[in-house]
Each structure stands twice: as C-alpha cells, then as structure tokens.
Chains A and B, each alone.
Chain A
Amino acid sequence: MFTTSRTPDNYRHKLGAGVLLCRLTAVFSIVFASAAAWLAVDQHALLENMEDLQSRTLPNSMEHQRLARNLEVLRLEGERVLAADNPENRRQALFIVTLMAGHPSLLANEKARNLAIETEIFLTRAAQGSRIDENIRDEWTRISRHLSLTADDISVDGINLAREDVRQMNGLVEQTRQKLHGAVALVLGFLALLLLLIRRMILRPLQQIDHALSDLRQPGSAVTLPNYSLRELASVREAIVQLHGLMQEHESTRDDLQKLAATDVLTSLNNRRHFMFLAESELTRAQRYGRPISIGLADLDHFKHINDIHGHAAGDLALKAFADIIRSTLRHSDIAGRYGGEEFAFVFPETTPQEAVALAERLRAHLDAWVIPLKNGGHIRLTTSIGIADASAQALEDALRLADEALYQAKASGRNRTIQAKTTQLPLPLGGHTDNSGHSA
C-alpha cells in the first residue's frame, strides 16, 4: 500500500491553490478598489460642482435675473412717469422709480447703479417740467433702450453663469461615463484573465487527470500528465503516476501467477489442470462445429531406467529436452501439456486421427534422433510411445482413455511407436459426428 503526504517536499516550491486564490482575490480587490477610487474622484468633483451650482451659481444666476427684472420694472415705471395723464399718477410712478433706483440689487452693480441714477435724475427733471416734449421723449427712448439692453445683458450673463457650470458638469459626467466604461472593461478584462487562469491552472489539469484516471482502467495504458504549477494538482499527478506503476506491477504479478498456475514448472508446458481446461474448450468448439479433432498421449520409454542410471537431474533434463522437441515439432495450434510424470498429452485441433498419427510420428522420430548431452560429458537417447485417439465424437475423458489404451498397446508392442486407437462409437452428451475408420501403425 502506498502512501503520499499532502504536500511533499518536492512540491513545496509550487504554488498552493489557497495562496493562488488569496493572491487573485487581493489583485482583484486592488483592481476593483482602484477603479472605485478612480470613479470616486470624479464623483466627488461632480458633487462639489453640483454643490457649487446649487449654493453659488444658481443663486447668483437668480440674482442676475432679479436685477434684470428690477431694471425692467424701472424702465416700465419710467414709461409710466412719461405717460401719466395727471400729476398724481406721475408722482406715484416717480416714487417707484426712485425706490427701484435705490434698490440694493441695482446699487451693488456698478453698471446698473449708474444707469439707475441717470434714469432717476432724468425722470425727476422730466416730471418737474411743465410738459413732455420731443427732446425728452428722444432722450427717454435712448435711456429706455439702454435699460432694456442692460437688463438683457445681465440676464444673459446670469444664464451663462449657470451654463458654464452645467457645461463643466456635463464634462465631468462624460468623463465619469468614460471612466466607468474603462473600469467596467478593466474588471471584465480581469475576470476574463481570472477565468483563463482558472481554466489553464485548474480546469484543464482536472480534465487531464480525469482522462488519466479513465485510462488507468485500460490494461497496458501509459500515463502522460504534464507538470502542473499548482502544488495540489502536482501532488495528485504524482499519486496517479505512482498508482499507475503499482497497477502495472500488480497486473504483471497477476500474469505471472496465472502463468504459474497454468504451466508445468519443469517443462514450461501446460500443466495437467490447464491442459484439461484447454482441451475441454477445444473439444467443445470442434464438436459444436463438427470439425475433426484428435487427442494424443505420449510416454517416454524406460524413463525410470534413466533416472536410476543417470539420476533425477538427467531425468529432468530428458523431460525438458522432450518438451523442447514438442514445442519445435508441433504446430502452434496444437495444445501440449505434461499429463503426469513422464507422460504428455496433446490436442490436435482441425486434425483427423490419421493426420495426428503423422504428427505424432514426426515427434517420435525427432526424439528418436535426438541426443541429449549430460553435464558429466555423457549423453542419453530417448524414445517415446504415443497413443492417438479420435476426439471429434466423444467426451474428453473417453478420448483420453482410448488414447491411453493405444499408448498401452504401443508399449506392449515394443515401445517407440505410435498407435491409433480403434474408433469406438460412444454417445456424446451434446451430439456430434462419429468416424469409425481407424487403423494402427
């Protein structure tokens, strides 16, 4: 069982997710606060401008309008002085002219004050006269026009005062709007960058890790994960690599165990249990499709004699040599196994008994011609007796029994030969065809 620490030393130099989050949060906070401060400056200026407009400019503008209106009242009362049809009306109008000419709003404006004084003096003298002649009317026309123009100028000045402030406010609002757009773009840009970083540093590695974990289920797969900058992901990557190594090791061990369980240790041929499993499967397949199949049993001749004369090591050497000859002589499709002691069993798929006999004969001949060198400088020669039986129409046990009987017959007939068992009609558990032809060699 493997264990891994949460933050191995070799990842300490890498960036942790918590630290990354803190740094991103800090940067975002700074960016956002800067944008807010940037806007706050304009907002403050705008508020100051509005305050100025409200407390200074608008009252000042209204003051101009009042002054213009008072000048206009002065002019109208002047008209009334000259147009009055009796002295009392003229006197009353003159009173108002006097009052307006002395009004503080006019006195505070030099231009208006001088004009008001000129108007009052003129109208007072005109009212004192016996009649209003053309000269007086002409002069009054001039003064009246002057009053009107002055009132207009003052009124326009007042409007312009407010207009200038409003223009400044509009500029500030426009500037604030542009800054707001800039701030929004900045924040959006930062968010895009943040998402890009999250995708690159977290999401994509997670996807790669997911794929790698999925691939672990595939036998013989290779884990290819890049190095990650985040400490946690690097740690996960390392764990996956370790896990993959362990899984491969376990798979190899399992294969070895399976091989050990199915293989004879000395000859590396199938052991009896595995041979029986393979033979059963092959017979089932052949009988299902009505294909020919044969079974063979071979027993080394005088093997006990070899053991007795040359020792068990030579016996083992003989068994290995025979296994090598089996592997080199038989076809890849043939199945061979150590059946017990010096006895070997064969399955010949897609092979009639006659063809099997030919194969067995070739095997027997190879062994017969084979000289096995011993470590002591000597050598031994081996022969084998082989029994062949048709398995296309009978159960494995029956076919083996027939092959064994043929083997016994070969032994009895002087050894070093191959004998095909006589065909025996036996009932099959799941049907199949029978071949009664048989002969001995």
Chain B
Amino acid sequence: MKYFLLRWHLSLRFAALTLVVLPFCSAEAEARELRVATLLTTTLQPQSKSDGKTGAIAELNEALAREVCRRLTARCTLQALPFPEIISEVSAGNFQLGVGNVLHTPERETRLLFSQPLWRSSSRLVGTPQAIREYRQGNDGEINLLSLRNARIAVERGTQQHRYVSALAPERKLVIVEATTIENTLQQLLDGHADFALMPMRSAYFLLAKQPANTVNFTGPALIEQGLGGTVHMILPKTATSLLAEVDTALDAMRADGTFQRIIRRYMPFLAD
C-alpha cells in the first residue's frame, strides 16, 4: 500500500512538471511569427462574406495564406494592403510573405522572390453596355485596347494594368482614372468616371458576377502580353530564400493532398489553373 502511494505521488509530480514545461516547449516549437500582406480589395468596412462572392478574392488569398502558415507551423499576422503596398512592403522586408494576386514580371523579380505559381491570369477591358456600344460603332464593331482613343480608363494604382495603360496613354490620348483597390476600379466605372476599366479577369469575375444584369461586361480580347497576363505567385523578400523553399514545399504538399484545389473550389466554381 505504501508502495502504491509512493508511485501515485511520483506520477502526480511528473504530470505537474509536464504541464508546466509543455507550454514552453510548444511556444519554442511555434515561436516563428510571420507578417503576411494580403490584398485589400475594398475600402468599405467590414466586408460582407455572406454570399461567398463579395470580397471572395481577398478571402481566397487569406485562406491560402493561412494554410501555408499552418503548414509552416508559423504564427501569422495577416494585414490587408492596397496592391502597390504589398509589393513595396514585402520588398522592404516589413512583411515576410505577400499573397495578393501578384503577377510575375522581370522587373518585380529583381526586387522579390516568387513562390511556385498559384494560377494564371489575364487582363481584359470591362465596360458599361453604353460605352461598349458607343466605342464599337466608332471602331468597326471591334473594341480593342490598342485601338481605343480618347477614352477614360480606370486602373488600380501600381498594377501591371496601370503601368500598361500609362505607357499607351500619351499616344492614344487616353485618360487614366486611378483607383485604390480593385473594387474602387469598378466603382469608378459604375459612377461614370471612366468609360472602361482594365482589370485582371479572375479578380474582376468576383466583382462582375455580383453586379446587376446589363451593368458591366467584359469586352474586347483578353490580354496576356506586356505583363498583362501570366502566372500569379506569393511573394517574399529577396533575401528569404530558405522561407521560399518552405513555402514551395508547403504548396507542393497542398496540391498533393488536394487542399489547394479544395480552397480554390470553396471560392470559385472552377479551378482553371
């Protein structure tokens, strides 16, 4: 009896010691903290998540970022930033990871590290039916960004679309209507401040799909030239090579076990990668 009491006493002591030490061990294992920049799609607060489409592109990016963080066993702090700030902040090292529909371009590659591709995207003009009708008549029934003249085009600041239209604007006498977010770009169109908006198609889909009928439509050909299309990646600071390898490994694992595809399906009706 005395022997069993002694054993019981020792077991209690061991359990108590474990309870005291275990949190420190866990804290040590999960000590890494990452700051993750995600895409700010709207300036309206808070975003409604009820229909799965409003703010869905942001939610998709956040879901991917959180899954990567979980696989890296990192405690991540997500912060939504306007697109141009994602690139500048990650490039400056203020954020260790950026998940914001960033297209790969040679210029960005000099400042950033790119993960393996997430999906591909192209750009396309979006216009109101009225504008489409007017400009089609003046251009032999065709609407093409390269043939547009004297038009007001809304673009999100700091994006490839912005850079492209800025390059065309002087010669084609185009008026650039700068927007702070992707939703703001569409809003400029809806408010009549712009005739067309040049938007990344996948992001535009989430916005256009929730608009009333005959409000806005895609028009003209989809474009992938001049950096308007290509592969979309997560981005990292130029020096974070080891973290890049971990992120790529996590993405590989996500694709291999179907997690990546399930996250995409949660927000989009198709993969189209």
CA A77 – CA B269 in complex, angstroms?
Answer: 10
Q: Mark A90-118, 1 if CB is under 8 A from B, else 0.
A: 01100110111111110110000000010
If A87-B213, A108-B224 touch, whether A103 touches B218 (CB-CB below 8 Å) is no
Chain B residues with CB under 8 Å of A291's CB are none
- Which residues of B197-241 have CB atoms within 8 Å of chain A's CB atoms? 201-202, 205, 208-209, 213, 218, 221-222, 224, 229-230
A31 touches B (CB below 8 Å): no
Flag whether A45 is at the interface (Cβ < 8 A): no
Cβ-defined partner of B202 (8 Å) among A66, A99, A105? A99
Fill in one digit per residue for A42-82: 1 if any B CB lies within 8 Å of its CB, else 0. 00000000000000000000000010011001000100000
Number of residue pairs A-B, CB distance < 8 angstroms = 53
Contact of B120 with A by CB under 8 A? yes
How far in angstroms is the closest Cβ of chain A from B264? 13
Contact at B213–A117, with CB atoms within 8 Å?
A: no
Interface residue B157 (Cβ < 8 Å from any Cβ of A): no
- A102–B230 alpha-carbon span in the complex (Å): 12
User: In the complex the two chains form, what is the Cα distance from A99 to B217 in whole Å?
Assistant: 11
**Residues in B neighbouring A117, C-beta threshold 8 A:** 221
Q: Are B205 and A101 in contact (CB under 8 A)?
A: no
What is the CB-to-nearest-CB distance from A94 to chain B, in angstroms, rounded to a whole number? 9
How far in angstroms is the closest Cβ of chain A from B2? 68
Q: B122 — which chain A residues lie within 8 A by C-beta?
A: 102-104, 107
Q: Give chain B residues whose Cβ lies under 8 Å from the Cβ of A103.
A: 120, 122, 201, 222, 272
Question: A88 touching B272 by the CB < 8 A rule?
Answer: no
Q: Interface of chain A, helix or strand or loop or mixed? A: helix
Count of chain B residues with a beta carbon within 8 Å of a chain A beta carbon: 21
Residue in A73, A87, A92, A104 whose CB lies within 8 Å of B270: A73
From A88, A91, A103, A117, name the one whose CB has the most chain B CB atoms within 10 angstroms.
Answer: A103
Whether, in the assembled complex, B273 has its beta carbon less than 8 Å from a beta carbon of chain A, the answer is yes
B152 at the A/B interface (Cβ < 8 Å)?
no
Q: Which residues of B contact A87 (CB under 8 A)?
A: 213
A95 and B205 contact, CB distance less than 8 A: yes
Asked if A104 and B224 make an inter-chain contact with CB atoms under 8 angstroms apart, the answer reads yes
Q: Is the CB of B230 within 8 A of A95?
A: no
A161 vs chain B, min Cβ distance (A): 19
How far apart sit A96 and B201, CA to CA, in the bound complex (Å)? 10
Q: How far is the CA of A182 from the CA of B124 in the complex (A)?
A: 62
Residues of A within 8 A of B205 (CB): 95-96, 99
A107 and B269 within 8 A (CB): no
9 nearest A-B pairs in the assembled complex, by CB-CB distance: A102-B222, A104-B120, A98-B218, A104-B229, A104-B224, A102-B122, A102-B201, A99-B205, A104-B122
Q: Which residues of B contact A (CB under 8 A)?
A: 120-122, 124, 201-202, 205, 208-209, 213, 218, 221-222, 224, 229-230, 269-273
Q: Which residues of A are in contact with B by a Cβ distance under 8 Å? A: 66, 69-70, 73, 77, 87-88, 91-92, 95-96, 98-105, 107-108, 117
Instruction: Offer 8 A-B interface pairs, CB within 8 angstroms, sorted by A.
Output: A66-B273, A91-B213, A96-B205, A100-B270, A100-B272, A104-B230, A105-B120, A117-B221
